[in-house]
Amino acid sequence: MTVHHDKPDAEDLKQRLSPEQYHVTQENGTEMAFRNAYWDNHAEGIYVDIVSGKPLFSSRDKFDSGTGWPSFTRALDQENVTLHQDRSHFMLRTEVRSAHSDSHLGHLFDDGPAPTGQRYCMNSASLRFIPKEDLEKEGYGEYRRLFE
């Protein structure tokens, strides 16, 4: 399987992203727990890749993991995320990256609730939230059905 990346160059990304967004997505950083945009967001909508705009997660699969980061039981479209073994920080973890922009999103753990038992623990800095009422206007109208 060939993964096709639509990754802008570093200078373009440095212009478009905040320093924290750049650090998280391009340098595999991690933002502060409980000090990020979406850990406590309860609005209905979808979360898209801050770099490529590809849909990643739905508020319908979001849950309060108590970790201080936005957590989801599943990806909205599995084709938009890739999983990689991460051996950094003396741990073995599963890293989640954007399939289209190759951005670092967060990590996947096997301690989530039913039905999947999985916890996609994401960095808010790698995401952009699209409220359900803005889906059409933002070009994501096909996802409106999730909230009807």
Spot the catalytic one: 48, 121, 125, 135.
Answer: 121
**75 carries an active-site annotation:** no
Q: Return the H-helix or E-strand segment holding 15.
A: helix 10-16
Specify whether the CB–CB gap between 74 and 116 falls below 8 A.
Answer: yes
Structure tokens at 128: 């952009």
Report the candidate in 67, 25, 64 with the shortest Cα–Cα distance to residue 41.
64
Annotated active-site positions, please? Answer: 121
